[in-house]
Chain A
Amino acid sequence: MTAQIAAFLTVDGVTTGSIYVLIALGFVLIFAVTRVIFVPFGDIAAFTALTLSALQTKHLPGTVGLVAALAALATLLEVIRLARARRPGQIPRALLFYLVLPLIPAAAVWATAGMTLPLPVTIILALALILPIAPLLDRVVFRPIADGTVLLLLTVSVALHFALVGLGLLFFGPEGVRTEPMSDYMVMVAGVPVSGQTLMIMAAAVIFSGLLFLFFEFTITGKSLHATAVNRTGARLMGIRPERAGTIAYLLGSLLAGISGILISPVNTIFYDSGFLIGLKAFVGAIIGGLVSFPVTAIGALFVGILESFAAFQNSAFKEVIVFGVLIPVLMWRSYTFAHSEEDIDE
């Protein structure tokens, strides 16, 4: 391996790693606040890419129906809950949040389907359409079992992933898509060509890591999320609603997944089932960060990307084995050096 090949591999690894960073941060964010390992997270990223592609090829993306159905279901559950609790006064608010807000992007996409739209508009539409999916799934699937064990939540999460992949096949078909490139810019760094797309992916990873840091350190909402993550009961006593914190975490997480899906689709073909493997590798990064630390997660995810790139060069047939094999020493190291989380003490 020459220095130039190493440089190539590093750039490639950092690009892939940056995608993993965005997804891994979402994993940690959602897990910390809700204790759910949100397995369908990668699917959300893939769905964004597929939705964007459908918009660009002037088809009505199937996600419109998904959002509408989920919104209807979530509203129904919420209205029944409020009616049973004899709090009908809160029903209009529930209608606004669970029905009207998610249906706005769905209606916008439905109305503009078939029109030729400029690229930024399609990107915003695709993102806006994807954003409500995870919070609505949270309302429908996870909230009724919010106090269950982590294992139960994980199992339901895996089942949800399979359901979403099946729906993805139904909505988008078995063929893969590539979306229009966002820029033709190319720059040489140390003899290695780096495309504008690569730079955008890296920039997105840096910017969103930074924004998350600022959000958690300097805003009240961020601090309340952090408080929920540290101790749900304590946070509730302080007047923070864990449900609301959960919804915010899902929204932020979906935004991260959506952006990574949009950034990756011009450089690689995305299939309805592409999300799972991307999510799984990002999860390795999140595990390196112990599912709690954002900076270590980011570094871990980058490491996975670079490792994958070099492993593919050394022995491409065993690439996945090498990447997932890393989990074993990491898990051993973590279980020997770190105290167990408060979860075990709680229960």
Chain B
Amino acid sequence: MTPTHMNGSVPRRRGRNRFALTLAATLAATTGAGMARADITIGFVTSLSGPSASIGVLYDKGMTAAYAYKDEIDGQKIKLIRLDDGSDPATASQEARKLIQQEHVDAIIGTSSATSTNAMFAVANELKVPFIAISPVNIKTPADGNLWGVAMPQLPSLMIKVIAEKMKKDGVKTAGFIGYSDAWGDLVYNGAMAAHKDGDGPEITTNERYSRTDTSVQAQALKVLSTKPDALLDGGSATQAALPLITLRQLGYKGQFYGTPALLNRDFIRVGGKAVNGVEVSAGPVIVTSQLPADHFSKKIGTEFHEIFKKVNGGEADDGFSGYTFDGWLVLLNAMHYALDKGVKPGTDAFHKAIMDGIYADKNLAGVHAIYNFKPGKAYNTDERGLVVVKLEDGKWIYQP
């Protein structure tokens, strides 16, 4: 309808237009409602632009693989709506709202940064629609005790516990620590201290910090050297996690390096070069699917994931991120099957509730990253069998049984 029509001076014509408009609206409403009954709609938000895009693109590829893996449940076609949040938490939360209120989605999956994911989770809690968080979240359970979503990544404290146990197994009695002077550094340090207190990990000799934009960590490295630790735990992430390792090797340190999944990054390997060779980190099994023993829970589904990822995206899934979206999809598929089984109609509030019930009812679901056992009131998977230890050998991550 053009503005000239709206402002037309002929009353009869305006009346006819208004009638047409009403008719169209009624038709749209009926067909819209009809469609909602026929189809299940899922919203997916990730960052395809902005600073989080390097991770966001991987999440998106994971989604493409997941949708190619299965795009229907019990004969019902699943409609997928994909949106880009531009790495902005405000946009992410607006999009979550839009998906729920305008598109009437049955569940949402999102997004690339912890802050944005938290923002979306809050909207899901408010509007009571299931949410699959694919980045780490830190969210309070609402007063009524109903959390409207789950988080796919492994609990950070678990990532550290697994590598601390490996250090102990390797005979490491003391370990130095260098990490970021931010929340991530705190998380790794506190996790390592907790593991030592529980008798699962080595004694931590230093608490040295640096920031991503620092020009040198020589002083921190010297401090670590002065405590003569058996090994070093790296609490950095991505590219700049290589800096302390390079500096320590330059200073002649011979001990073993350990780290977290935050080091699973192509640029870390590129920048670190020889110095980071041999570093061991905890990781989701999806990183080393092809090397897993046949009886490993993630072997079968992981192989399927890698095959389908390669088919639809044209490259290897050598990151941990795409696997989180894929696992989120698996969790959602099972939960929707549960909800449909109960005879609940998609597009209704009851369906939302039934999906959450389905997520909690599903036991021992094997994904590419972990075995999932979610419990009401807890966002993170409570099953600890998820992580393996991998070692960097000549630019490749090798599974350490």
Contact = CB atoms under 8 A, between A and B. Distances in A.
Nearest to A169: B51
A103 interface: no
A273 B213 contact: yes
A317 interface: yes
A269 interface: yes
Interface residues of B, number: 30
B276 to A, nearest CB: 12
Given A176-B240, A268-B243, A317-B209, A16 B222 contact: no
Interface in A232-290: 264, 267-269, 271, 273-274, 276-278
Contacts of A173: 54
A90 interface: no
A213 interface: no
Interface in B214-249: 214-220, 222-223, 226, 238-240, 242-243
Contacts of B210: 312, 316
A274 B209 CA distance: 17
A268 B216 contact: yes
Nearest to A310: B219
A193 B251 CA distance: 8
B209 A9 contact: no
Given A176-B240, A313-B223, A268 B215 contact: yes
Most A CB atoms within 10 A — which of B54, B218, B220?
B218
A316 B236 CA distance: 14
A174 interface: yes
B267 A176 contact: yes
B208 interface: yes
A277 B216 contact: no
B52 to A, nearest CB: 8
Nearest to B265: A175
Nearest to B241: A269
Contacts of A312: 210, 216-220
A178 B271 contact: yes
B218 A8 contact: yes
B181 interface: yes
A12 interface: yes
Interface string A154-197: 00000000000000010001111110000000000000010000
B219 A12 contact: yes
B54 A174 contact: yes
Contacts of A193: 250
Pick the most buried of B51, B215, B218: most chain A CB atoms within 10 A of its CB: B215
B212 interface: yes
A15 interface: yes
Contacts of B267: 175-176
Contact of B222 (A178, A276, A313): A313
B215 A264 contact: yes
B219 A309 contact: yes
A264 B218 CA distance: 14
Interface string A304-323: 00000111110011011000
B212 A271 contact: yes
A326 interface: no
Contacts of A274: 213
A316 B220 contact: yes
Interface string B239-275: 1101100000011000000000000000100010000
A110 B193 CA distance: 52
A269 B217 contact: no
A19 interface: yes
A16 B54 contact: no
Interface in A6-21: 8-9, 12, 15-16, 19
A175 B222 contact: no
B208 A316 contact: yes
A277 B213 contact: yes
Nearest to B226: A5
Contacts of A19: 215
Contacts of B223: 313, 316
B181 A12 contact: no
Interface string B100-111: 000000000000
Which of A9, A309, A312: most chain B Cβ within 10 A?
Answer: A312
Residue of A174, A175, A269, A320 with highest tally of chain B CB at under 10 A: A269
Contacts of A5: 222, 226
Given A309-B218, A312-B216, 20 more contacts: A5-B226, A9-B218, A15-B216, A175-B238, A175-B267, A176-B271, A178-B271, A193-B250, A267-B216, A269-B242, A271-B212, A271-B213, A276-B213, A277-B211, A278-B213, A278-B215, A311-B219, A312-B220, A317-B181, A317-B209
29 contacts: A8-B218, A8-B222, A8-B251, A9-B222, A12-B216, A15-B216, A19-B215, A174-B54, A175-B54, A175-B267, A176-B239, A176-B240, A176-B271, A178-B271, A268-B215, A268-B216, A268-B243, A269-B271, A271-B239, A277-B211, A311-B219, A312-B210, A312-B219, A313-B219, A316-B209, A316-B220, A317-B207, A319-B209, A320-B211
Interface of A: 5, 8-9, 12, 15-16, 19, 169, 173-178, 193, 264, 267-269, 271, 273-274, 276-278, 309-313, 316-317, 319-320
Interface of B: 51, 53-54, 181, 207-220, 222-223, 226, 238-240, 242-243, 250-251, 267, 271
